[in-house]
A and B are shown apart, each in its own frame.
Chain A
Amino acid sequence: MEDRNVVKGDGFNVESGFEDSGPDSQPGVDADQELLPALYQELRQMAVAKMARERPQTLQATALVHEAWMKLDGQRFGNRAHFFAAASEAMRRILVDQARRRKRLKRGGEFERSDYVESRISSPLKDDRLLLVHEALDELERQDARKAQIVKLRYFAGLENAEIGAMLGVNEKTVRRHWEVAKVMLFQLIRKS
Chain B
Amino acid sequence: MSDKTDELFLQAREITDPQERADFLAQTCQDDPDLLARLEQLLKDEAQARLFFDETDDGEAGKTVLADTLPDDSAAGGEREGQWIGRYRLLQCIGEGGFGSVWMAEQNEPVLRRVAVKIIKQGMDTREVVARFEAERQALSMMDHPNIAKVLDAGATNTGRPYFVMELVKGKPVNRFCEEWKLDMEQRLLLFGEICAAINHAHQKGIIHRDIKPSNVLVTLHGDRPVPMVIDFGIAKATMGKLTNRTLFTRYDQFIGTPAYMSPEQVGMSGLDVDTRSDIYSLGVMLYELLAGSPPFDPKTLLSAGWEEMIRIIREVDPPSPSSRLSTTADDESEKIVARLGANPKKLGRLIQGELDWIVMKALEKDRSRRYESANALADDIHRYLASEPVMAAPPSVSYQFQKFFRRHRLTLGVAVMIAVTLAVATAVSTRAAIRATRAEREVTRLLDEAKVREVELTNAVALLKESTEELSSHMRRLLVGRWEIHLKFDEESLKKNLKNYESSGFKSLFTGPTAEVSSQVELKEDGAATGETFPSLVQITRFLTPLPDKEQIREGRWDLVKQQGKRTTVNISSRNQNGFRSVDEFTLTVIDSGTLLMENTAWADGPIKPIITFRRMR
Contacts and interface: CB of A to CB of B under 8 A. Distances in A.
Interface stretch (B49-57, B83-91, B220-228, B361-369): B49-57
B443 interface: no
B53 A183 contact: yes
Interface string B33-77: 000000001100110111011010001001000100111011100
A163 interface: no
B10 A177 contact: yes
A170 to B, nearest CB: 12
A158 to B, nearest CB: 12
B59 A180 contact: no
A126 B59 CA distance: 7
B481 to A, nearest CB: 38
B1 interface: yes
Chain B, interface SS category:
helix
Contact of A184 (B49, B66, B75): B49
A4 interface: no
A128 B74 contact: yes
A177 B6 contact: yes
Contact of A181 (B9, B52, B66, B73): B9
Most buried by B among A125, A128, A147: A128
A143 B75 contact: no
A106 B53 contact: no
Interface stretch (A22-30, A92-100, A185-193): A185-193
A170 B69 CA distance: 35
Most buried by B among A126, A143, A180, A187: A187
Nearest to B41: A188
Given A181-B9, A184-B45, A129 B52 contact: yes
B62 A129 contact: yes
Interface in A81-121: 103, 106-107
Contacts of A191: 45, 66, 69
A181 B55 contact: no
B10 A180 contact: yes
A125 B66 contact: no
A168 interface: no
B122 interface: yes
The range of chain B's interface size is: 20 to 34
B55 A124 contact: yes
The range of chain A's interface size is: 20 to 34
Most buried by A among B6, B42, B70, B71: B6
A161 to B, nearest CB: 15
Contacts of A183: 46, 49-50, 52-53
A68 interface: no
A187 B49 contact: yes
Contact of A185 (B1, B50, B55, B70): B1
Contacts of B50: 183
Interface in B226-284: none
B1 A144 contact: yes
A167 interface: no
Nearest to A188: B45
A132 interface: yes
Interface in A115-157: 124-126, 128-129, 132, 143-144, 147
Contacts of B42: 181, 184-185, 188
A128 B70 contact: yes
A178 interface: yes
B75 A126 contact: yes
B75 A187 contact: no
Nearest to A143: B1
A106 B69 contact: no
Contacts of A128: 70-71, 74-75
B46 A184 contact: yes
Contacts of A107: 73
Given A180-B10, A190-B66, A106 B73 contact: yes
Nearest to B53: A183
A95 to B, nearest CB: 14
Interface in B1-23: 1, 5-6, 9-10
A125 B55 contact: yes
Contacts of A187: 45, 48-49, 52-53
Given A143-B1, A144-B1, 6 more contacts: A128-B74, A129-B59, A177-B10, A183-B50, A184-B46, A185-B42
Interface of B: 1, 5-6, 9-10, 41-42, 45-46, 48-50, 52-53, 55, 59, 62, 66, 69-71, 73-75, 122
9 contacts: A106-B122, A125-B53, A129-B66, A177-B6, A181-B10, A183-B53, A184-B42, A184-B46, A190-B66
10 shortest interchain CB distances as A-B pairs: A187-B49, A184-B49, A183-B49, A181-B6, A126-B59, A184-B42, A128-B74, A183-B53, A184-B46, A184-B45
